[in-house]
Amino acid sequence: MSTRVLRKFICALLILLSSSSVLYAAEQSVRRYGLFIGANNGGQDRVLLRYAASDAEAVSNVLQRAGGLQMEDSLLLKNPSRAEIIRSINYINTRIVETKPEALRQEFVFYYSGHSDEQGLLLGTERFAYQELRDQLKGMNADVQIAILDSCSSGAFTRLKGGMRRSPFLFDESTEAAGHAFLTSSSASEAAQESDEIGGSFFTHYLLIALSGAADTSLDSRVSLNEAYSFASAETLARTEYTLAGPQHPSYDINLTGTGDLVLTDLREGIERIAFHEDLAGRVTIRDTRGKLVLEMRKEAEKPVTITLPPDGYTVILDDGVSLKRTTLVLNPGGDISVRQDDFRRVYRQPGVVRGDVQPGPERQQAREEVYSGVDVNLMCIREGSMEGIQLGLIGSIVEGNMEGIQVSSVFNMSEGSMDGVQIAGVFNLSEGSVEGPQLAGVFNITEGSVEGPQLAGVFNISEGSLEGPQVACVFNIAEGDETSGIQLAGTFNVAEDFEGIQVGVMNVAEKMQGVQVGVVNISDELYGVPIGLINIAGNGLHHLSTWYDQNEMVNLGFQLGTFYYTFFQAAVDTQDFNQEFAAGIGMGFEIPLGGFYLDTEAYAKTYAAGYGSFDENVAQAFSEDSIPFPAARLSFGRNLGGKSSFFVGVDMAFHFPELNDYIPGAMNGTPWTVDYSGQGDMVDIYPNWFIGIRL
């Protein structure tokens, strides 16, 4: 290669790298601000809405999850007054001015869901005129103002004098766009509608689906303003054509200059994603663990689709026009799931008679025949499809699909899919998917997916996915999955990944535990709560070794294990001759951090033995049946020295109750403090003992 050609190649490479850096910097130099308003009350003459506030919160959440909107740059108002809205707009405008040097382009998103008429937004007894709202938005210092109104007659907002309807089709990916984009859910004379079935308004429902990734027609894993509006508009019109209120026609007023396309959400990285493979085709509906419809879309063949949803368990139904198929997913924080055709299992449509229906064709007739309802008593009950009723089997019961009712078997039950009801087995229950209701087994239960309700087993329970409710087993419980919650009660041990609630067993183990662990041994990587047990080990907690010298001329060795609540262990010997005296104690403590200092308080039971000849004999006597433990308490004040090392001083107090026994251990030296603790002559002698030590 000649020197001239080499120089040209290097120059071209440098230009390419510089261009890429500029484009990357441009994409990172957009800062977005948002004001989201939900107003259910539109006045005495208006019906009280149910979902306006939740719609506003949902739009805010999706833009925070995938739209680059930071929590500190977002405000959510529920049923506000006109003055509150103006104050919030002014507050955000002040933030825009203050952060102007930090961003090349600044965008402001205004979302409103509620009542309105041809003149303005209806806020209880107040009206916020459209013209005043437009003036407020135009006064913002943001380069781009985006307003989305989901309310009746909101189309009048785009028809005011000065509004110009322009094409929203912008292709360039630069950041030079400026101006405004106003989207409304209805025309100037139409009603905006909400639905109990979808749990929100039609327009916002489909806007959320669009922003989640379903509107990405360019397949670049980003949703632009044009893509989001086109999808939400078409789906809203199609869904409302046959409602009592009539079809709903969203409208827009877009006046943008420059060449920059407005990307509203970015699904490329850093968020939870579900990727539907190109081999899937049909109508896709997704419901969360509460049964709420969160997404519905038409999935085209040979066209992959990526969406983002909050971490949760989901049930996905695929209707390809011939058959109905189902799968369940557990989307963990930061998770990335790929869904293919092979991941679905066939389920069967419920039979029904439509008025005026003709004789069903072969496919529908087959579906009707395959749906089972009733009681089936067999040596082994196997049924593929949707079953309603009761299955009784001496050996086993197997249902694949949707099962509602009760399965009773002396050996096992297996139901793959969504199971509502009760499973009772002499050996085990196995259900993959969403389960609601109790599972009862003589041996064990295994469930993969979302579980709501109790699992009761004679031996153990295993649950993979989201778990809500108690797990009760004679031997052990295992809950694998993020954000599981409830109660785990076991005769031996409990194991969980990300668990919120209570674990009770001989041994409790969790990766991340929020709540209370009660057992002999409690172990966790992260513990945010209280461990109650003999040995408490938390990766983010206390695990200190201490040594100290006390006023009784004894050297002590101690351990602290737990969080700010911890288990305390202590042992001591005489400094001059360790064969002369031995003392030991165990109890609970509580630590109060004070910046670079800390305060520890401990209550524990202590035993003491001296003069039995040797160290081993003193230890044996201290833990023998003849030894009488006595209560003690410690109070210490420490100074952190760096790392886990610290220096501390404090006082140890031994308590002697003369009314209970005359025995005074040798550890109780000096003149006691005598206190009447009941006020009726019931005395306690308190023997203080000063100490100084170090903690590692």
| Contact status, residue 150 vs residue 204, Cβ threshold 8 Å | yes
What CA–CA distance (Å, rounded) separates 452 from 450?
7
State which of 147-156, 346-355, 408-417 shows the largest mean pLDDT: 147-156
Closest-CA residue to 632 (of 652, 651, 661): 652
Q: What tokens were used for 404? A: 């509602």
**pLDDT exceeds 80 at position 196:** no
What is the distance between the terminal CA atoms of the chain, rounded to a whole angstrom? 65
Q: What tokens were used for 360? A: 């069903």
pLDDT for the residue 568: 94
Length of the chain: 696
Segments of the chain assigned to CATH 2.40.160: 542-695
Handedness of CA 54, 56, 59, 63 (dihedral sign): negative
| Contact status, residue 193 vs residue 202, Cβ threshold 8 Å | yes
Pairing verdict, β 178-184 and 200-201: unpaired
pLDDT for the residue 328: 84
Helix (H) or strand (E) holding 172: none
Segments of the chain assigned to CATH 2.60.40.10: 273-347
- pLDDT > 90: percent of the chain: 31
The number of C-alpha atoms within 13 Å of 653 and in the hemisphere containing its C-beta is: 14
pLDDT digits (tens, 9 = 90+) for 489-520: 988 999 998 888 999 999 999 999 999 999 99
Q: What is the 3-state secondary structure (H, E, C) of 639-652?
A: EEEECCEEEEEEEE
What CA–CA distance (Å, rounded) separates 652 from 633?
6
In CATH, what number does 273-347 get?
Answer: 2.60.40.10
Q: Could you tell me what percentage of the chain is helix, strand and coil, using 3-state DSSP and rounding each to the nearest 5?
A: 20, 50, 35
Q: Which residues pair with 690 in a beta bridge?
A: 651
pLDDT for the residue 391: 66
In CATH, what number does 542-695 get?
Answer: 2.40.160
Biggest distance spanned by C-alpha atoms of the chain: 107
Report the SS3 class of residue 155. Answer: helix
Q: pLDDT category, 326, cuts 50, 70, 90?
A: confident
What CA–CA distance (Å, rounded) separates 428 from 397?
11
| Contact status, residue 408 vs residue 400, Cβ threshold 8 Å | no
Q: pLDDT category, 541, cuts 50, 70, 90?
A: confident
Q: Is the pTM of this model over 0.85?
A: no
**pLDDT exceeds 60 at position 22:** no
Q: pLDDT category, 358, cuts 50, 70, 90?
A: very low
What CA–CA distance (Å, rounded) separates 246 from 381?
49
Q: Which positions ≥6 away from 622 have C-beta within 8 Å?
A: 582, 583, 584, 607, 608, 609
State which of 96-110, 250-264, 379-393 shows the largest mean pLDDT: 96-110
What CA–CA distance (Å, rounded) separates 421 from 579?
66
Residue 378: count other Cβ atoms within 10 Å of its Cβ: 14
| Contact status, residue 598 vs residue 640, Cβ threshold 8 Å | yes
- Between these two residues, 156 and 205, which has the higher pLDDT value? 205
The number of C-alpha atoms within 13 Å of 510 and in the hemisphere containing its C-beta is: 37
What CA–CA distance (Å, rounded) separates 301 from 277?
9
Mean pLDDT, range 453-464, rounded to an integer: 77
Q: Which positions ≥6 away from 590 have C-beta within 8 Å?
A: 564, 565, 566, 600, 601, 602
Q: What tokens were used for 662? A: 């005359």
Judged by average pLDDT, the poorest of 85-89, 90-94, 677-681, 687-691 is 677-681
Segments of the chain assigned to CATH 3.40.50.1460: 25-266
What CA–CA distance (Å, rounded) separates 403 from 371?
10
Pairing verdict, β 312-319 and 282-288: antiparallel
Fold of 25-266: Rossmann fold (3.40.50)
119 phi and psi angles, rounded to 5 deg = -105, -30
Q: pLDDT category, 583, cuts 50, 70, 90?
A: very high
Residue found by looking up tokens 């740059």 in the block: 73
Q: Which residues pair with 255 in a beta bridge?
A: 180
What CA–CA distance (Å, rounded) separates 545 from 550?
16
pLDDT for the residue 569: 94
Closest-CA residue to 451 (of 435, 429, 474, 472): 435
- Between these two residues, 616 and 440, which has the higher pLDDT value? 616
pLDDT digits (tens, 9 = 90+) for 425-457: 777 667 765 666 677 777 767 776 666 667 777
CA 140 to chain centre: 35
